[in-house]
Amino acid sequence: MDAAEKRYLQIIGQAPEEPKPEPAIVIKHLTGDVQEIIKNQDELGRWIVTQDRFRKEVRGNSWNGEYRKENRISSALFNQNVDVLCKFLETYNSL
């Protein structure tokens, strides 16, 4: 069964039950990721992407291929980190 068909069956509630891994194995697998996520927070608890590239645009001119670099908070990184932390906590609470 391909991934698209499997996802479709999950959405309509007809997917076969897949065996869930043991919580202790999941915890062991996620522990390193969780430690890295926490370590990468700044003093305010943010995950900052350093020197991220953005198109350098000048009003009235076409883009010339130049980029500007800035530190920023990435919503994609935030969502990824929160997802890992939630999986870890849900699994830990199921022990």
DSSP string, 37-92: HHHT--TTS--EEEEEEEE---TTS---S-EEEEEEE-HHHHHHHHHHHHHHHHHH
Residue 85 placed within a domain: yes
pLDDT at residue 40, rounded to an integer: 95
Residue 1 placed within a domain: no
Whether residue 1 is predicted with pLDDT greater than 80 in this model: the reply is: no
Q: What is the widest separation between alpha-carbon atoms in the chain?
A: 60
Residue 4 placed within a domain: no
Domain that includes residue 52, residue range: 20-93
Residue 9 placed within a domain: no
| Rounded mean pLDDT, 37-48 | 95
Residue 13 placed within a domain: no
User: How many folded domains does the chain comprise?
Assistant: 1
Residue 33 placed within a domain: yes
Predicted TM-score (pTM) of this structure:
0.69
